[in-house]
Chain A
Amino acid sequence: MIRTEQIFKSFDDTDVLKGITTSFEKGKTNLIIGRSGAGKTVLLKLLVGLLEPTSGAIWYDDINFCELNKKQRRAIRMEVGMLFQGSALFDSMTVEENIRFPLDMFTKKTRKEKLNRVNYCLERVNLEGSNHKYPSEISGGMQKRVGIARSIVLEPRYLFCDEPNSGLDPKTSMVIDELIRSITIENDITTVINTHDMNSVMEIGDNIALLYQGELAWQGNKDEVLNSDNKILDEFIFASPFLQRLRDAALNNNVSIKPDK
């Protein structure tokens, strides 16, 4: 479980995050949603320590991450996996070398054990046999899946995903969402996803935190989204005329548009 306590973050004179207190639960897909510029990416970068909060605390279970020195943070990071928006695959390495990199760097496994682990991770993301391809030779969706494979290769306890669906078609987005969710449940890890994909919100949002102008505007789950009377949430979720029409049609005809449990 990860908790944030009164997180403030400012860049020069601009307050980007204003007192965010929330928690991200273990075994659940925790979503940070909000409009562009709401502070989602900043919050995610604070959680993994790529940025320092101006004030406040971030707790990894019972450990205050903000009080750790670099060496202690590295120990925590061994238990963290992260999928970047642009996948951040090392482009001069093959898919196999990319996934093997954390194993080479941090484990004493034999070559065969590493290869078995890499192949397992590739199988897990449905990319068997792609070992020797370079990132430039595979599609954006496949790159995301390689990114997921690399982020889970050390069996992390915490998984962070920055806009995992950006640049992907709806069908591939659903595959990625489902993959992240199943990995979360299977390994009982704490997953935090930064997204503004409505499909993700409605399908895998076990715990959703809505940021609005640097503040936590709403928190709940995917079932509570449709029943909420929060105006900011309503404007965010039903921003498109199509979704507004869909909701109105569902209400008029007494049809549920809630996702299946």
Chain B
Amino acid sequence: MNLNFLYHFGRYLLMIRTAIARPERFAMYWRETMRQMNDIGVGSLVIVALIAVFIGAVTAVQFAYQLQDSFVPKYYIGYIVRDSTIIELAPTITCLVLAGKVGSNIAAEIGGMRQKEHIDAMEIMGVNTAAYLIMPKVIAAVIVIPLLVCIAAFVSILGGYLASVPGGLITDAEYIRGLRSFFVEYNVFMMIVKAVVFAYILTTVSAYQGYYVKGGSIELGQASTQAVVYSDILILLADYIIALILTS
């Protein structure tokens, strides 16, 4: 079990080392990165916004329920929605969802290319396939996913507003006051750090699963599933480590 882990970890590091190389033709890598930015960013916008609005709404409603008959001021609802969203929910939930959507897609795309001999064909042409197939995805993800996370945080706070103000849980002024209270800029930095790290994890782990896939469609399905499972586990582990480091 341990040796198996070391085998995969070593092969993962070798893949990353090979992928970090000077592009054969910069324009081709640029084009591929742009395509990936569109696929990952624009392609995930709706699902990310949809999830974020409900996360904000549920956080607001749940916290309003906790505050019933308590001495804690109601404007704290806005404060809690903002901080829980920025520090934890926006980066983590968004990236867990993206691991499912983007990660499985990356594993299936690269794995399909491996099985259909597209990767062999590129290798024989002289293309560094690890670099061409993986780096544009990683670069696109570490740029676009933090932007998605920022959008998710904004939409989540909006969701909290929509769930609490029109429903009469809290007034408009109270919610806005909560949003403006005790704001710490460092939390936004923490959110961005998490988004970048999670983006790196979900793309490279998924690419690894696809790049080394063997067998047929069943194995490709397994690789796709493993990409999501391992990405999710590593994202949660990284979340804990980042929290420890950045809050110590």
A pairs with B: yes
A residues adjacent to B (C-beta < 8 A): 48-50, 70, 74-75, 77-78, 80-82, 84-86, 88, 90-91, 101-102, 104-106, 154, 160
How many whole Å from B239's CB to the nearest CB in chain A?
A: 35
B120 near A50 with CB under 8 A, answer: yes
Some 28 contacts from A to B, beta carbons below 8 A apart, are A48-B124, A49-B123, A50-B120, A50-B123, A50-B124, A70-B128, A77-B124, A77-B125, A80-B126, A82-B121, A84-B117, A84-B120, A85-B117, A86-B116, A86-B117, A88-B116, A88-B118, A101-B125, A102-B125, A104-B25, A104-B27, A104-B28, A105-B24, A105-B25, A105-B127, A106-B25, A106-B125, A106-B126
How many whole Å from A65's CB to the nearest CB in chain B?
A: 13
How many whole Å from A31's CB to the nearest CB in chain B?
A: 19
In the complex, what residue of chain B is closest to A82 when comparing beta carbons?
A: B124
> Which chain B residues in 28-68 approach chain A with CB under 8 Å?
28
Chain A residues whose CB sits within 8 angstroms of the CB of B128 once the complex forms: 70, 74
The binding surface of chain B is classed by DSSP as helix
A105 near B118 with CB under 8 A, answer: no
Q: Could you give, for residues 102-123 of chain B, a 1 whenever the CB lies within 8 Å of some chain A CB and a 0 otherwise?
A: 0000000000000011101101
Chain B residues whose CB sits within 8 angstroms of the CB of A91 once the complex forms: 116
18 extra A-B contacts, CB within 8 A, seeds A77-B123, A77-B124, A90-B118: A49-B124, A50-B120, A50-B123, A70-B128, A78-B125, A80-B126, A81-B124, A82-B121, A84-B120, A84-B121, A85-B117, A101-B125, A104-B28, A105-B25, A105-B127, A106-B24, A106-B25, A106-B126
Chain A residues whose CB sits within 8 angstroms of the CB of B123 once the complex forms: 49-50, 77
A105 near B121 with CB under 8 A, answer: no
Chain A residues whose CB sits within 8 angstroms of the CB of B28 once the complex forms: 104-105
Cα of A131 to Cα of B27 in the assembled complex, Å: 22
B residues adjacent to A (C-beta < 8 A): 18, 24-25, 27-28, 116-118, 120-121, 123-128
How many whole Å from B197's CB to the nearest CB in chain A?
A: 29
In the complex, what residue of chain B is closest to A79 when comparing beta carbons?
A: B126
A88 near B127 with CB under 8 A, answer: no
In the complex, what residue of chain A is closest to B18 when comparing beta carbons?
A: A70
Chain B residues whose CB sits within 8 angstroms of the CB of A86 once the complex forms: 116-117
Pick from A81, A88, A154: contact of B120, CB under 8 Å:
A88
In the complex, what residue of chain B is closest to A107 when comparing beta carbons?
A: B25
Chain B residues whose CB sits within 8 angstroms of the CB of A88 once the complex forms: 116-118, 120-121
Pick from A49, A70, A75, A105: contact of B125, CB under 8 Å:
A105
Cα of A90 to Cα of B32 in the assembled complex, Å: 14
Chain A residues whose CB sits within 8 angstroms of the CB of B116 once the complex forms: 86, 88, 91
Cα of A86 to Cα of B125 in the assembled complex, Å: 16
How many whole Å from A261's CB to the nearest CB in chain B?
A: 33
Most chain B Cβ neighbours within 10 Å, of A49, A75, A88? A88
In the complex, what residue of chain B is closest to A86 when comparing beta carbons?
A: B117
B120 near A75 with CB under 8 A, answer: no
In the complex, what residue of chain B is closest to A77 when comparing beta carbons?
A: B126
Chain B residues whose CB sits within 8 angstroms of the CB of A106 once the complex forms: 24-25, 125-126
Chain B residues whose CB sits within 8 angstroms of the CB of A85 once the complex forms: 117
Chain A residues whose CB sits within 8 angstroms of the CB of B18 once the complex forms: 70
